[in-house]
Structure 1
Amino acid sequence: MGIFDFLKRKPQPKSQPLFYDIVCPYCFSKFSPEEVVFRAGHHREDDEDYAMQEDEKLNKYRDRFGLDTVYDMEAVIDPRDIPEEHHLYSDHVLIGLNDRYGVVTRRRLCPHCHNELPVTAGKVPSNIISIIGASQVGKSVYMTSLIHTLQHSTADHFDAACMPLNAEISRKFRHMYEEPLFERGDLLASTQKEKMQEPFIFQFVFKDESKPPLTLVFFDVAGEGMVDQDYLGLHGQHIKNSAGILFMIDPLQIRSIREKIRMQYGGESNEWVPQYDEPRDVVLTLFGDFIAYQEKNKTDIPTAVVLTKSDMLHALKDEDGDYIKGNSNIFNNMIHRKYLNLTESNNIDGEMRRFIEKVDRPFKGTMDVYFSNTSYFAVSALGSNPVNQKLQGVVSPIRVDEPFIWLLYQLNYIEGREQH
C-alpha cells in the first residue's frame, strides 16, 4: 500500500451463523434451508411415488417465461416423508436424502418453483443483485456489457471468476446477448412486456474461499412493467429480496435534457421514443410495491443509481459546467483493482448528484426520501451512440463495472481506499 493510500474500510470478520436463509435465484422466494425439497435420484415403475411424472410447480414457473413444458421428471421428495436418520447434513445445512430404496439424492429444489438450487445455498448468504429501470434505458445492453466486462477483466482484478450458473444460461447469454452485441454490433431489442426472459444467473466467485460467492441475477423485467403495479407485483418480487440494486436511468427519460440532446444529435424522430417513464414514476411504483413495508418507509438496500448512455452527455458539456464539465471524468474509463478507489467513486457520485439535482429535482428528492444508501454513477455500455440500431465501431464500455464494484464494497467483499 502506497504512502498516500488510506485504508477507508476493511471487511470485518463477523461471527458466522450456522446457516443462512435461502433466496431462490429463479423465483426469488425466501425460505429456510429446512424447507427445501429434493428431486429423486432415480425412478421406478413399480412405485407411483417414484415414477416419472409431471412437475406442476416447475412447469408453472416455466410457463411464466414461455419455456416448454417438461412432462417426465423424477419425483419430488419431501424431507418430512423421510426418517430423520436418513437426512444428510453438511455445515448444519440439509443437503441430501437417502430415500426408501437406499438411493441418495443431493438435488435440492426450491419448495416454491422446484428449480434446482446452487450447491452453496444455505451455507453462504444469498446475496443477489438486481437490475431495475424503466423501458428504453437499455438494461439488456448494460447487462451484456457488464457481464462481458466482469468475465474478461473485472473478475481478474479482484482475484475472482464470473461464471454462469449452468450451461444453459451460458449458451443463451452468448447466443442471445453477447454474440449479437460484441461480434456483430447489433443493438438488442427492448424486452417486450408480454415476453418474459427467465433470469440470467451468474456467480462472482472469489479465489479466497472465506468469501462467499455473490449471485448476480439479471431478471430482465420488461421496462414497461416497472410502472405497472400488477406487473411489478407479479414479476418484480425479486427486488425486495435483493442484497443490492442497480437502478438505471436514461438521460432521455429526463424531459429537461431530452430536447437539448436531440437538437445536438439530430436523427429521425422515431429514434427518440416519446413514451419515456419519468424516473420518479419508477421509484413511486417501487415504493408502493415494497418500500412501504420497510421500517421507517425506507429501504437500506445499497442502491447504485446508474445514469446510462453517458456518451450522449457530450452534448451537454461546456466550460462553465452548467450541466457537465468539459473535462469531466465520466467520459474516461476507470479501472479499479483489488479495491474500490473511493476518491474516484466519490467524485463521480458528487458530480452526478449535482447533475441529477439540476435536471430532475423531483427524482433526486424522491430517491433521498425512500433510499437510505445510494451512490450515483455514469456509464456507457457501448462507448458511443449507435445509428439505426447498429454500432459504428467496436464496443468500448466506459465505467460499466464501477456500480457493481461499489456494491461489492457495500457488501463487505472488498476494501475501499481513498487516494490523495
Structure 2
Amino acid sequence: MLSFIKKIFVTRPVPRQKPEYYNIICPYCFHKFKPEEVVFRATHTRDDDDEFMERIDENLSKWRKRFKADEVYMEAVIDPVTIPDENRIYSEKVLVGVVDRYGEVTRRRLCPECHNVLPVSAGKVPSNIISVIGASQVGKSVFIASLVHTLQNKTAVNFDASCIAMTPEVGNRFNNRFIRPIFENNTMIATTSVNEQMDPYIFEFKFKDDNKETLTLVFFDVAGEGMTSREYLEIQAEHIKNSSGIMFLVDPLQIRSIRDKIHLKLGTEEQNEFSSKYDEPTMVISGLYENFIAHQPNSRTNIPTAVVLTKSDMLHYLKEEDSDYIQPNSNVFRNVVHKEYLNNIEFENINGEIGRFLQKVDQSFKSAVDVYFTNKAYFAVSALGSNPKNTELSGVVSPIRVDEPFIWLLNQLGYIDRRDT
C-alpha cells in the first residue's frame, strides 16, 4: 500500500509543450542560430557558372585552421534567401532542403558560421551538448567509449529508447577510435592530442514514447592536457558554455593523498613517472573559471554537472573496515541498474558517499565545486571494471555504474522521473 501511495505522489517532470522549432547550436563552432538561417551545400558543380564552380570554402577552411588542417575545395554554398519560397523544402516547419536553379535538390544543411554539416535532426529536437572534461590521464576517452557502448546496449533498452550514431560516418569513426580497440581487441586507446581536429561524436537518443522529445547528444573528447592551457580553453570554453550537461571527471590518482595510499603493482620508478603526469583537479577548475565561469552571472554556472570519480576499481586498494576512506561494502564497488527512472535511493547513496570522500581527501577541490557549480552531484564509475596492465585489458570489460551520471542528467533535463522505489 505504501509503495502504491509513493507512486501516486511521485514527482514527474512537467510535460513541455513542443515549440515549432528549436534554435540550433552548431556542434562544431557552437554558433547559435534559427533553422531559417542555415545555408546549404550544392550537390553538383558547373564550370560554366561562377556561382556553382568548385572553390575554397573560406568559412570551413578558417575553422579547420584551428587544428592546423589544410584549406578545402568544396561545392558552392547556397543561401536560401536566394531561393523562391516554392523551392524551399520544410519538415515540421523546419527548413531542411532547397531546389537550386538547375532543379537539383540539396538537403545538406550547413552552419552559416563555419559551414560544417549539421545533424539531420537539427532544429527539430533539442541539441544537447554533453561536455566531458577533466585533466590529462583522467580517462575521458575510455569513459566516453564505455558510456556510449553502455547507452546503446543496455541503458536505452532500460528506458524504452534507442541510441544510434547520427550518421554511418560518425558510427564508423566512433567504432574505429573507441569500440573496436577496447571491446574487441582488449587494448587501450591513444590519448587525445590538443592538435587533434575536434569533430564531435553525435548520437540520437530516441524514446518509444512520442511525448518525450528526442535528444541529440553531442560528445567531445577534449584533450586533458589542454584543460589547464589558456589558449586551448579559449577555444573550448564556447562548447562548455553551451552545454546542457557537464561530466567533470576526477581520477583518484590526481589526488595527492590518495596517490600515497594506493599501491599499484608497478615498480617504484614506473609509479613515480606515472604519478608525475597528473594535474590537480583544482587546476582544471581554475582554467574553467578564467575562460568560462567568471563570465557567468555571480561567477557561477548552473549547468547540471556530474562530478565523476573515475577508475573506481582502484579504490579496492583503500578499502578497510571502519576506514575513513572506503569500506569493503561501499556503494562504489556495487553495480546499479536504473530502469525506467532514476532510483533516488541509490543515487543519494552514491552522491553522499562520494561527496564525503572528496571532502576528506581533497577539501579544496570539493569546496571549489560547491562554490562554482550550483547544480552538481557526485558519482563513482569504473569504465572498464579493472585496471589495465601495460595497455592490455584482462578478462571481459565490465563497466560499473558508468551510465549513472548520464541518467542523472536525463532527470535534470526533465526526460525521466526520479523515484524512491
SS in 1 for 2:290: helix
TM-fit CA distance, 1:30? 1.6
Q: Displacement, 1:44?
A: 2.4
- Cα shift at 1:292: 1.7
TM-score, length of structure 1 as denominator length:
0.93
TM alignment of 1:15-164, pairs within 5 A:
15-65=17-67, 70-71=72-73, 73-84=74-85, 86-164=87-165
Using the alignment, how far apart are the partners of 2:270 and 2:170 within structure 1?
A: 33
Q: TM-score, normalised by structure 2?
A: 0.93
The match for 1:407 among 391, 399, 409 is 409
In 2: Cα distance, 1:218 partner to 1:246 partner: 10
Q: 1:209 to 1:61 in 2, by over 3 A?
A: farther
Q: Secondary structure at the match of 1:111?
A: coil
SS at match of 1:337: coil
Report 1:2-401 matches (<5 A).
Answer: 3=4, 6=7, 8-65=10-67, 70-71=72-73, 73-84=74-85, 86-262=87-263, 265-271=265-271, 272-401=274-403
SS of the equivalent of 1:46 reads coil
Amino acid at match of 2:56: E
2:20 aligns to what SS in structure 1? Answer: coil
Counterparts of 2:192 and 2:267, CA distance in 1:
23
Q: Within 1, Cα distance between the matches of 2:51 and 2:330?
A: 66
Displacement of 1:333: 0.8
Larger deviation: 391-400 or 197-206?
197-206
Residue 278 of structure 1, CA deviation: 1.0
Contact 1:65/1:198, CA 8 A, preserved across alignment: no
C-alpha separation in 2, matches of 1:268 and 1:51: 63
Structure 2 residues without counterparts, runs of 5 or longer = none
Shift of 1:388: 1.4
Contact 1:196 1:221 in 2 (8 A): no
Contact 2:137 2:277 in 1 (8 A): no
Deviation at 1:332, TM superposition (A): 1.1
C-alpha contact (below 8 Å) 2:282/2:364 kept by paired residues:
yes
Q: Give the whole-Å Cα distance in 2 for the aligned partners of 1:305 and 1:103.
A: 49
Question: What SS does structure 2 have at the residue aligned with 1:89?
Answer: strand
CA RMSD of aligned residues (A): 2.1
Check 1:336–1:323 CA distance in 2 against 1; reply closer, same or farther (3 A cut): same
Please say if residues 237 and 292 of structure 2, whose CA atoms lie closer than 8 Å, have aligned partners that are also in contact: no
Q: What code does the residue aligned with 1:10 have?
A: R
**Distance in 2 between the 1:236 and 1:298 partners?**
14
Structure 1 unaligned spans of 5+: none
Q: Distance in 2 between matches of 1:406 and 1:8?
A: 16
User: 1:90 deviation in Å?
Assistant: 3.4
Read off the aligned partner of 1:409 and give its amino acid letter. Answer: N
TM-superposed deviation, 1:171: 1.3
Q: Deviations over 1:57-108 (max 9, x none)?
A: 223434544667543x321011233345543333333222233334332221
Counterpart AA for 2:301? T
For residues 19-54 of structure 1, the C-alpha deviation after alignment (integer angstroms, 9 at most, x for no partner) is 221111222222222221111233323211112333
Quote the offset at 1:368 in angstroms.
0.9
| Equivalent residue letter for 1:117 | L
333-342 vs 111-120, which moves further: 111-120
* Counterpart AA for 2:302: D
Write the deviation string for residues 320-378 of structure 1: whole angstroms up to 9, x where unpaired. 13011210111011111111101101110000000000011111111111111101000
CA 1:371–1:231 in 2, change beyond 3 Å: closer, same or farther? same
